[in-house]
Amino acid sequence: MIHKSKLRSENRGIGMTSQGTRDRLVQTLRSEGIRDERVLNAITRVPRHEFVDEALSSRAYENTALPIGLSQTISQPWIVARMTEAILDGGKPEKVLEVGTGSGYQAAILSHLVPKVFTVERIDELLKLARRRFHRLRLNNIFVRYADGQLGWPGQAPFDGIMITAAAQAIPTDLLEQLAIGGLLVMPIERDGQQRLITVRRTEDGFEEKDLGGVVFVPLLSGLA
Ligand code: SAH
């Protein structure tokens, strides 16, 4: 016989969003090469089920991208962890800009690791939902802006890190200009019909690029929606 209270909690999806479920996701990420314990700790702390539609909350701790409406997706936890690890680069950036707020999950992860997080989104409806989540979770160090993120956030530049969470055809020059010396840009870019995750470090003399491997992202688009 199934105990009544167990039945009720399963109906509410509590079992699927419990700390144990989150811990299993962290184990998966660790086994798939994520090493920075600060990043794994942030993944443990952020309730990903709060960033997807209630109907999908039972799948929130699977290592997969999920739809968030308006043809957009919340990134796969592994890629969120990988990009976060890349932008921290073993150090302590003070100010990070994210282009492509989407659900707000990536920004929420960053908010536990970086003193000030700026995030820009071109779809008003998504930004409104993300802003509500930040408020509810009391993530008061995230600042949001409704704009075309290819232009960055000039009034807040320079940034120690900039992360683009949608695939670009080319590296946006405005974003390179808004990087601090020593700062790092992490982004997916289209090359030879594939998407690659790259980092670009700004040095005293110029820019140094590295390739971190193949990825799949929704496209970076121009203008507002
Ligand atoms: N970081 C998000 C992933 C969102 S998917 C998360 O954690 O959920 C990529 C997002 O980039 C989409 O919401 C899309 O609308 C947004 N986007 C695409 N082009 C953009 C642009 N030029 N400026 C700002 N946001 C953009």
Domain boundaries, the chain: 65-214
Q: How far away, in angstroms, is 149 Cα from ligand 1 center? A: 9
Second CATH level (architecture) for the domain 65-214: 3-Layer(aba) Sandwich (3.40)
Rounded CA-CA distance 182/201 in Å is: 6
**CB-based burial, 203-213: b 16+ in 10 Å, e otherwise:** eeeeeeeeeee
Q: How far away, in angstroms, is 220 Cα from ligand 1 center? A: 7
- Does residue 12 surpass a pLDDT of 80? no
pLDDT of residue 3: 53
Place of tokens 């929606």: 225
Q: What is the pLDDT of residues 136-170, one digit of tens each?
A: 999 999 999 999 999 999 999 999 999 999 999 99
Q: What is the pLDDT of residues 77-133, one digit of tens each?
A: 999 999 999 999 999 999 999 999 999 999 999 999 999 999 999 999 999 999 999
Residues in contact with 69: Cβ distance below 8 Å, sequence separation at least 6, in sequence order: 53, 125, 126
Asked if 116 and 95 count as a contact pair (C-beta separation under 8 A), the reply is: yes
Pocket mutation for ligand 1, best pick of 153, 218, 222, 224 (most atoms within 8 Å of C-beta): 218
Length of the chain measured in residues: 225
Residues with CB under 6 A from ligand 1: 72-75, 99-100, 102-103, 105-106, 120-123, 126, 148-150, 165-166, 218, 220-221
pTM, two decimal places: 0.94
**Enzyme catalytic residues:** 75
